[in-house]
Amino acid sequence: MRSQEELYALPNCLVCHNSRVVPYKDPVLGDRTIECGCCQYRKKINILRKSHIPNAYVQYELGDYQMEAGDDADVWKSNKKSVKKLVGLLKNHKTVVRESVDILLYGGVSVGKTMLGCVMLKEYILQHGYTGKFVTSDELIVLAMNKTRFNFDGLTLDDFLDVDFLMIDNFHTLVNLDDLKIKGMVKVYLSEFFQKRKHEGKSFILTSKLSLAPLMTRRVFVETMAYTLMDIRIGGRRGETKRMERAKMLGLV
């Protein structure tokens, strides 16, 4: 796990020696300098800073995920397979983007769904240069309720349309038909939002207490991704990180 200072720091470059420019011989203009390739990392970092991934999760890696001691060994073995699937989705990022694959991480409370989803979003940004944003279901509802007005950080619902990956935390809240917050034009705006993103071939990373089957019975917002969604179960009683484990050992939590 890297600290936020390490995460946001520009790398030491052996090509430009941190000058961030390299010499280039232009066939027309002659000798000049151009931006070094290491600056691409700075652009990715700027995208990461604007992704709204919570500070509590942004520094974690997939290897930081572990289960609480005492959980069933078979559950932990299953979760290792789930993390392996996530690694595969990162490696096959071109297929994920080309096929507009959506990732649903589902399981009980505090099993690590949000952490794993944030790691996936961060890695798609830093490793492969995609754009992405994090939003909770409640924030998305507020954006839909105030569609024509600026909201948190000066953003509107339309600002989330074009990013390659949109992570929605607690997605089950959106498909709860009994929730009085989702009705009338709010439901219309959200339905249009999901349809536009899928029409443009954009992907979602979703966390939910509900698996795909019960989500599909609600048939709200899920229809647009029914054939592109990969559901991955995260089991157990509680997901932990190495940082939390160390804090427990020190008696800080």
| Domain range summary for the chain, segments of one domain joined by + | 4-39, 53-249
Q: Check residue 253 and give its pLDDT.
A: 44
Which regions of the chain are under pLDDT 70? 1-11, 17, 38, 67-71, 148-153, 176-183, 218-219, 237-253
Model pLDDT, residue 181: 55
- Alpha carbon dihedral 138, 144, 148, 154, in 10-degree steps, equals 30
Name the region of 20 (left: φ>0; alpha: ψ -120 to 50; beta: rest): left
From the candidate CATH numbers 3.40.50.10540, 3.10.450.50, 3.40.50.1220, 3.40.50.300, the one assigned to the domain spanning 53-249: 3.40.50.300
Residue 241, strand partner residues: 65
Q: Strands 30-35 and 132-136: what pairing?
A: unpaired
Q: What pLDDT is attached to residue 252?
A: 46
Beta strands in the chain (DSSP E): 21-26, 30-35, 65-67, 102-106, 132-136, 165-169, 203-208, 229-233, 239-241
Please write the tens of the pLDDT for every residue from 100-119: 999 999 998 888 899 999 99
pTM confidence score: 0.80
CA distance 135 to 152: 11
Tell me, what's the pLDDT at 85?
93
